[in-house]
Structure formats: structure tokens, C-alpha cells
């Protein structure tokens, strides 16, 4: 039955995370962007929200909260509303935790999840994206060959968040390159594995607070027991959808931040005898931005709700992600435009949001719901 109502728990989660984003993350956002580093006390406070530990099963030290994609989308939007780099950093451990919870064997859950329930921020991550302009998850160039009982991984990954600090990295690779998404497998790879090399931190236009790395694999041998889902393997298509929904939801957060800032600015800024918000040229831009922010969110929620019903939601999440990527960029661009010269100056955050928003059409696999 069609409904646009959050349940009570989702309302509570939204309220809590939104307050954290506004009070703690947003004030730090500019210095995070300029310095490239997220203060450790901010991450410690984010941990107290239970962003990772909440969804871990009770028997490994988590709270055992049910994992709901719509709730995940709400959390992602609110955190990204505060700051995209901080949001991606704080949620990065989910990139390992969620696939293991959902697709791992009992043994893998017992092995990889308890460390994530430890006190404080425990770094973990996954490597999906590859350095190609036309990277396609269904056509990965990183391969995993089954050789004498082990798997041997070869290839290059990029935009791997926190790779340098993560003890283990969940690596996606094509096991059967001709099978598209169905041929993709996941391997939990210890960072110190021979053949795994982490290059220097990537320098990007935006997401400057998030430490991302290029990771290369040269005949990197991984034991078969590290293969996500064991012999049965796993459903990568679903994980990909979950990741696209997360990125779409974060795009909503960035777009909403830019929209609200430009809206408030337009009411304050006076020209030709009154606030520029009273001019149709400006008012109509903001009206369009408001529509787009809501449209993006509904598309993300729609894909998320199908995921929650057990559907792979491949088409819906692809639509949501692509739409959100384009809309976030356009909303952020309009925000800079509305602020005019002031929007171009780093004193205001809108230029940062424009740089961050550009990422959504480029990156893949940096978050998961």
C-alpha cells in the first residue's frame, strides 16, 4: 500500500542523525575540506550514534538492529547534509560489515564482524571502483582466478576509502568475466597480503576530507575461505543496488544543503530595493531546486523500499543514482549561481558542495545502505 510515512523508528533515527549533522559535522566541514583530515573526536562521536555497531548482530557485540535500506537512505542523506566527506568516512566500515552480514557464511560473520563491534571507530572498507572512464561493475577488469585451492587477484582499484588504515579490504573482482554482475565475487583481503599495494592518497577536486587510495593487486593470493559467501558465492547485483541507493541518498543530502543555503541567502541578500528572493528569476530557480531535491529523495526511497522487499532493484537503483547524480550537480551549481561572486569564494560552503556533488556521476561503490 502506497505510503510516504516514515515509521516511528525512522523518524527518531532521522532526528538524531540530523541533529548530529547540523551541530557537529557542519561546523567542521570547511576545515575538513581544507585540511583533508577529519578530527578523531568527531568520528568518535559519530560512533556513539551506532552507525556501524547498531546493525551488527547481538552475538558479535552489536545491537542487532534490523537492516532497512530506507532507514539507511535516511541516515546517508542526513550525514551527507552535514558533510559528504565525513559521511562517507563515518559509514565506510559498513562497506565491509553489511556485505558480510548479508552475504557472508556463519564462519565469515563470526570472524570479520566482532572486530567491528570494538569501542571507537574501527576502520574497514571495500574496493569496487576501477580507474577507467567507463568503469562498469558488470565488466570489471580486476579478476579473481581459482588456482590450486586459492584465488589469485589481479587488477587495479581506485577510490578505496581509508584503505591505508583498514586491516582488511573487501575486494570485488570478476570471477567469471563473461557473466556480468553474476560473475562478480567478493574477497576479504588482509591489507598486508603479498601482491596488494596501496599507492599514495588520491588528490581529487572534492571529497577532500575523505582519504581514498588506489589499490593494486598483482598475483595477490587469497584463501578460498575469504571468498564472500563461501562456495555459494554471493549476490553482487543486490550489493551494487544497495550501494547505488546509498550514493543517491547522499546526493540528496548534498543537494538539500545547497538548496537550503541558497534559499536563506536569497532572503537575506538585497538588490534593487529588496531581497533577491522576491525576483522571479531567483525564486523560480529555487522552486525548481526544491522540486528536484524531493524528486531525488523519492526515487532513492523507492529503490530502497524494493530492496527491503527482497528485490534486487537493479533498474530502480540505477535510475535513482543517475538521476540523483545529475540533479545534485545541477542544484549545487544553481546554489553557486544564486550566491553569484560570493558563491565562488571559499568563505561560503556552496563551492565545496558543487565540487562534492560532481563526484556522484563519477564514483561507484563508496557507500552502502
Partner 1 sequence: MIDFELEPQFVNLLNVYHASAEQLMRPISRQYDENEHEEPWPFWEASWTASHNPASVSSAQPPAVSRNLFTCLSTEELCWGDAGLFLSIPNPGLGGAAVLAAGTSEQKTRFLSRFRGGKPKWAAMAITEPGCGSDSAAITTTARRDGDDWVINGTKIFCTAGLMSVEKSEGFVVVWATVDRSAGRAGIKPFVVEHNTPGMTVVRVENKLGIRASDTAMLSLENCRVPLHHLLGSAEVTPAGGFKDVMATFDATRPIVAAMAIGVGRAALDFVRDFFQRNNIPIRYGISPRRLTAIERDFMDMEVQLKAARLLTWRAAWMLDAGMRNNLEASMAKAKAGRAVTLITQKAVELLGPLGYSRKELVEKWMRDAKINDIFEGTQQINLMIIARRIFGYSSRELN
Q: How far is the CB of 4 from partner 1 (least distance, A)?
A: 5
Contact range with partner 1 by CB under 8 A, out of 37-45, 92-100, 222-230, 315-323: 315-323
Contact, 10 vs 72, CB < 8 A?
A: no
198 binds partner 1 (CB under 8 A): no
Name the residue nearer to partner 1 (CB basis): 60 or 277.
Answer: 277
The strand pair at 184-190 and 270-271 is best described as unpaired
Q: Is residue 167 classed as helix, strand or coil in its secondary structure?
A: coil
- Residue in 322, 337, 342, 355 binding partner 1, rule: CB under 8 A: 322
With left for phi above 0 and alpha for psi between -120 and 50, is residue 169 left, alpha or beta? beta
Stretch that binds partner 1, among 46-54, 109-117, 118-126, 316-324 (CB under 8 A): 316-324
Q: Is 364 a catalytic residue?
A: yes
Identify the sign of the CA torsion 278, 284, 287, 289: negative
Stretch that binds partner 1, among 16-24, 40-48, 223-231, 273-281 (CB under 8 A): 273-281
- Select from 76, 91, 266, 359 the one that contacts partner 1 (CB under 8 A): 266
Q: Which residues contact 50 (CB under 8 A, 6 or more apart)?
A: 63, 65
Element (DSSP H or E) covering residue 216: strand 212-223
179 touching partner 1, by CB under 8 A:
no
The Cβ-side half-sphere exposure at 335, using a 13 Å CA radius, reads 32
Per-residue binder mask for partner 1 (CB under 8 A), 206-245, x = binder:
----------------------------------------
Can you tell me which of 37, 271, 287, 345 binds partner 1, judged by CB under 8 A? 287
The cell numbers describing 159, all together, are 577510490
Contact 50, 63 (CB under 8 A): yes
Is residue 81 part of the contact set for partner 1 (CB under 8 A)?
no
Question: What's the closest the beta carbon of residue 67 comes to partner 1, in angstroms?
Answer: 15
At its nearest, how many Å lie between partner 1 and the CB of residue 2?
6
Tell me which residues in 43-72 interact with partner 1 (CB under 8 A): 70
Between 160 and 276, name the residue whose CB sits nearer to partner 1.
Answer: 276
Between the two ends of the chain, the Cα-to-Cα distance in Å is: 23
Distance of CA 174 to the CA centre of its chain: 22
How far apart are the C-alpha atoms of 90 and 38, rounded to whole Å? 10
With a CB cutoff of 8 Å and minimum separation 6, the contacts of 205 are 355, 358, 359
Cβ 79 vs Cβ 25: under 8 Å:
yes
Note the residues at the interface with partner 1 (CB under 8 A). Answer: 1-7, 10, 70, 133-139, 181, 263, 266-267, 277-278, 280, 283-284, 286-288, 290-291, 294-295, 298-299, 301-302, 304-306, 309, 314-315, 318-319, 322-323, 361
Which residues participate in catalysis according to the annotation? 364
Amino acid at each position: 500500500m502506497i505510503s510516504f510515512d516514515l515509521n516511528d523508528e525512522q523518524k527518531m533515527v532521522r532526528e538524531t542523525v540530523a541533529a548530529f549533522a547540523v551541530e557537529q559535522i557542519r561546523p567542521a566541514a570547511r576545515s575538513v575540506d581544507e585540511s583533508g583530515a577529519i578530527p578523531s573526536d568527531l568520528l568518535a562521536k559519530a560512533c556513539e550514534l551506532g552507525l556501524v555497531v547498531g546493525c551488527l548482530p547481538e552475538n558479535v557485540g552489536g545491537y542487532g538492529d534490523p537492516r532497512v535500506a530506507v532507514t539507511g537512505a535516511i541516515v546517508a542523506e542526513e550525514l551527507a547534509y552535514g558533510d559528504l566527506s565525513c559521511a562517507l568516512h563515518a559509514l565506510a566500515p559498513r562497506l565491509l560489515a553489511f556485505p558480510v552480514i548479508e552475504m557472508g557464511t556463519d564462519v565469515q560473520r563470526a570472524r570479520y564482524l566482532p572486530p567491528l563491534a570494538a569501542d571507537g571507530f574501527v576502520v574497514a572498507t571495500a574496493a569496487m571502483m576501477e580507474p577507467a572512464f567507463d568503469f562498469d561493475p558488470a565488466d570489471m577488469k580486476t579478476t579473481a582466478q581459482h588456482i590450486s585451492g586459492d584465488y589469485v587477484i589481479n587488477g587495479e582499484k581506485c577510490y578505496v576509502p581509508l584503505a591505508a588504515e583498514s586491516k582488511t579490504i573487501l575486494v570485488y573482482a570478476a570471477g567469471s568475466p563473461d557473466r556480468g554482475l553474476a560473475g562478480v565475487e567478493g574477497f576479504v583481503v588482509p591489507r598486508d597480503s603479498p601482491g596488494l599495494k596501496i599507492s599514495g592518497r588520491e588528490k581529487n577536486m572534492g571529497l577532500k576530507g575523505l582519504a581514498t587510495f588506489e589499490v593494486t593487486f598483482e598475483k595477490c593470493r587469497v584463501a578460498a575461505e575469504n571468498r564472500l559467501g563461501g562456495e555459494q558465492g554471493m549476490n553482487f547485483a543486490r550489493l551494487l543496488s544497495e550501494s547505488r541507493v546509498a550514493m543517491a541518498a547522499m546526493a540528496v543530502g548534498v543537494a538539500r544543503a545547497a538548496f537550503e543555503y541558497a534559499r536563506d541567502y536569497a532572503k537575506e541578500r538585497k538588490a534593487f530595493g529588496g531581497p533577491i528572493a522576491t525576483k522571479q528569476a531567483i525564486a523560480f530557480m529555487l522552486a525548481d531546486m526544491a522540486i528536484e531535491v524531493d524528486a531525488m529523495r523519492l526515487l532513492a526511497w523507492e529503490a530502497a523500499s524494493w530492496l527491503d522487499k527482497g528485490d534486487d532493484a537493479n533498474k530502480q537503483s540505477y535510475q535513482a543514482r543517475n538521476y540523483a547524480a545529475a540533479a545534485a550537480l545541477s542544484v549545487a551549481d544553481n546554489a553557486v549561481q544564486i550566491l553569484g561572486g560570493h558563491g565562488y569564494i571559499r568563505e561560503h560552503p556552496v563551492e565545496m558542495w558543487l565540487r562534492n556533488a560532481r563526484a556522484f556521476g563519477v564514483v561507484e561503490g563508496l557507500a552502502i545502505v
